Amino acid sequence: MSTTELVFSNLKPGVTQQLIAALRGSPAFQNIPGNLYKRIGHVVRHNGEDVTSQERIVLGLEWDKPSSFHAFYPASPQFSEFIGAIKEFVAAPPKPVLFTARPDYGRPVPTLSSAVTQIFIGPNGDKKPEGEQARATFLDLLKEAKERGEIDFERWGGLGIDDAEGTWLGLLGWKSEEELDKAMKGDGIAEAVKKLRNTEALDEYVVKFEEV
């Protein structure tokens, strides 16, 4: 079972394109053993607030297994070379979080390769029943709307491991921000979204990923 990694970071002003160029030109980042897939995303909303101007980015990576990630991070020479290529652009050292897929979910690639990706990170429902119920209701309503042909999206769900243990990750892939906004206003979905967003410690991001 593959492992999904997210790395959120705030950048120094005006360096987003320089960072992307550095990542694309870094052999230490492009040729990591065990890394199956990688994208860089621009965070455009956080918990409903437009943050486009804040130059916040997130790396989305897929690994073949957790041990491949740990062989790279944080002490390998290859990781040190990678950090050396990007440290001048980041405002503070980013911290990765890892997730493994929930049962019945495959790879996260369809959601990370969508034009717009909606990211939810919250406390594990096994410990927060109200959060689990809100999430299940939200996903059931989305699934029903998709089956009726009203909306179309990709989905992936995972549970946190290592430092992220006790959290869950939900990814929804959309064709556009307009499609996302339309879906969030659908019958019953708006109320379900409100309940989900009121779940304790929930973070919601809207991200536009691109190849890196």
Q: How confident is the model at residue 199 (pLDDT cuts 50, 70, 90)?
A: confident
Q: Check whether 58 has a pLDDT greater than 70.
A: yes
Question: Could you say which DSSP state residue 63 is in?
Answer: E
Say if CB 191 and CB 197 are below 8 A apart: no
pLDDT of 10 above 90: yes
The tokens of 193 are what?
Answer: 């979204």
pLDDT of residue 90: 96
Query: What band does 24 get if pLDDT is binned at 50, 70 and 90?
Result: very high
CA angle 142/146/151 to nearest 5° reads 90
pLDDT reported for residue 25: 95
Question: pLDDT tens, 144-171?
Answer: 999 999 999 999 999 999 999 989 999 9
Roughly what angle, to the nearest 10 degrees, separates helices 129-147 and 189-197? 150
- pTM score, two decimals? 0.94
Instruction: Walk me through the domains of the chain, giving residue ranges and CATH numbers.
Output: 3-101 (3.30.70.100), 114-211 (3.30.70.100)
**Rounded average pLDDT over 97-111:** 94
Residues 106-126: what's their mean pLDDT? Answer: 91
Phi-psi region of 158 (alpha: psi -120 to 50; beta: other; left: phi over 0): beta
What's the average model confidence in pLDDT over 28-45? 97
Q: Is the pLDDT of residue 99 over 70?
A: yes
Side chain identity at residue 202, one-letter code: L
pLDDT at 200 over 80: no
Helix ranges (DSSP H) in 9-161: 16-24, 27-30, 66-72, 77-86, 109-112, 129-147
What contacts 152, CB < 8 A, 6 or more positions away?
A: 146, 175, 179
Q: Can the peptide bond before residue 110 be classed as cis, meaning omega within 30 degrees of 0?
A: no
* 3-state SS, residue 55: coil
